[in-house]
């Protein structure tokens, strides 16, 4: 039996979900915190009381380390119950207990790193892994994206609808920018789909009340592919999973990296796609209405053909086949 571990945010969880759909059976080990339970459910899913380490004070770090010991033993019990032979880690603090349990019990540990800059959990466990994969590393793995994104791709020829997406938890900067841009989109008769995040939904629903024509407002959605398929252009954060989902569905995108992301990895995620002529990039400090409106009126669809012809290799199936070897 294969165990999948890691999560917390949509980027990690999207990879875990994509790979799980290529497996006949699996066990999922995540955290009670974050969004794990929104993505996985069932008797073979375990949510542990794991916590992040990076942003803790000294006492917080000590507490996390002591609780980690108990969680590792909990994972060992799960391994024994389900006869686990292989563990896939997609990173994040959710992955640490099961990854350590795999190492000390001599189970095959396979790691997938989503971002261009490696996270702490994967960096610490990488030396003990049987295999390590990334779309940015020497041992290349096509990025694991659910097949539905590639199946719904289409070539854009005009811009009628824009999607602004800040990730599954929303992004205050992009949310406020969407409000600022919306009156200009109305003048151009362009529809807006705005993913503001579940926590911010009520706030932005009220903010749009003054407009006669309302945008489509989304909190959290498991069907974000439907909104991506409908849109003709996107403005998005540059988390790795969202980035490759947008590329696979062939949606022209302006990436606005989150400047406080670990090691500025979102900037380098986006830069990888920009250098391959698949996307645009704009740092927060340079983003304004004039920049976006000019892009929409000139070359926003410049890479539409490149995106449509992008080879959509099934990275999730590739990774699932590797796991089955163990």
The residue with tokens 């960096």 is 123
Question: How far is the C-alpha of 244 from the C-alpha of 143, rounded, in Å?
Answer: 7
Give yes or no for residue 20 having a pLDDT over 60: yes
Domains 2-141 and 148-309 share a fold: yes
Give yes or no for residue 139 having a pLDDT over 70: no
Give yes or no for residue 59 having a pLDDT over 90: no
Nearest to 160 by CA among 254, 314, 300: 300
Nearest to 152 by CA among 74, 248, 63, 79: 248
Of 136 and 324, the one with more pLDDT: 324
Give the strand pairing for 27-31 and 86-89. unpaired
- Fold of the CATH domain 2-141: Rossmann fold (3.40.50)
Q: How far is the CA of 52 from the CAs of 33, 195, 289, in angstroms? A: 10, 26, 36
Query: Phi-psi category of 189—alpha, beta or left, where left has phi over 0 and alpha has psi -120 to 50?
Result: left
Take residue 314 and report the two structure tokens written for it.
């099934």
Give yes or no for residue 64 having a pLDDT over 90: no
Q: State the pTM of this model.
A: 0.71
User: For domain 148-309, which CATH number applies: 1.20.120.1080, 3.40.50.10540, 3.30.465.10, 3.40.50.2000?
Assistant: 3.40.50.2000
Which helix or strand (DSSP H or E) is residue 233 part of? strand 233-236
In this structure, the number of other CB atoms found within 10 A of the CB of residue 179 comes to 16
In this structure, the number of other CB atoms found within 10 A of the CB of residue 299 comes to 11
Question: How far is the C-alpha of 238 from the C-alpha of 281, rounded, in Å?
Answer: 9
Query: What does the radius of gyration of the chain's CA atoms come to, in whole angstroms?
Result: 20
β-sheet with 191-195: strand ranges across: 216-218, 191-195, 161-165, 233-236, 253-255, 280-281
Q: Domain boundaries in the chain?
A: 2-141, 148-309
Give yes or no for residue 251 having a pLDDT over 80: yes
Of 26 and 51, the one with more pLDDT: 26
The SS3 call for residue 256 is: coil
pLDDT (tens digit, 9 = 90+) per residue, 94-132?
A: 888 999 999 999 999 999 887 766 777 888 888 999 998
pLDDT (tens digit, 9 = 90+) per residue, 157-195?
A: 999 999 998 755 557 889 999 999 999 999 999 999 999
pLDDT number for residue 301? 93
Q: Are the C-beta atoms of 248 and 152 separated by less than 8 Å?
A: no
Nearest to 279 by CA among 256, 312, 313, 311: 256
Q: How far is the CA of 298 from the CAs of 158, 190, 257, in angstroms? A: 11, 15, 22
- 265 band by pLDDT with thresholds 50, 70 and 90: confident
Of 159 and 258, the one with more pLDDT: 159
């Amino acid at each position: 039996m294969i165990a999948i571990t890691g999560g917390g945010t949509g980027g990690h969880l999207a990879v875990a979900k994509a790979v799980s759909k290529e497996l006949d059976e699996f066990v999922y080990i995540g955290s009670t915190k974050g969004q794990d339970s929104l993505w996985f459910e069932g008797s073979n899913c375990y949510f542990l009381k794991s916590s992040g380490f990076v942003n803790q004070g000294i006492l917080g770090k000590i507490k996390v380390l002591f609780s980690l010991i108990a969680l590792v033993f909990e994972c060992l019990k799960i391994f024994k119950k389900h006869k686990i032979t292989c563990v896939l880690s997609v990173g994040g603090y959710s992955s640490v207990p099961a990854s350590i349990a795999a190492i000390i019990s001599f189970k095959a540990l396979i790691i997938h790193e989503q971002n261009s800059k490696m996270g702490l959990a994967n960096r610490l466990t990488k030396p003990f892994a049987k295999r390590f994969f990334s779309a940015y590393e020497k041992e290349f793995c096509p990025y694991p994206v659910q097949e539905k994104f590639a199946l719904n791709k289409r070539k854009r020829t005009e811009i009628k609808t824009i999607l602004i997406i800040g990730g599954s938890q929303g992004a205050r900067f992009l949310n406020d920018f969407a409000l600022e841009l919306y009156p200009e989109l109305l003048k151009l008769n362009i529809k807006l789909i705005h993913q503001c995040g579940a926590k911010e939904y009520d706030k932005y629903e009220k903010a749009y009340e003054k407009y006669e024509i309302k945008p489509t407002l989304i909190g959290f959605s498991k069907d974000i592919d439907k909104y991506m398929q409908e849109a003709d252009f996107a403005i998005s954060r540059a988390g790795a999973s969202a980035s490759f989902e947008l590329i696979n569905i062939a949606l022209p995108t302006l990436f606005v990296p989150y400047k406080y992301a670990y090691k500025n990895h979102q900037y380098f995620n986006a830069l990888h796609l920009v250098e391959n002529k698949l996307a645009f990039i704009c740092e927060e400090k340079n983003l304004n209405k004039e920049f976006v409106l000019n892009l929409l009126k000139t070359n926003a669809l410049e890479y539409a053909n490149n995106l449509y012809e992008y080879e959509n290799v099934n990275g999730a199936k590739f990774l699932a086949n590797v796991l089955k070897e163990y």
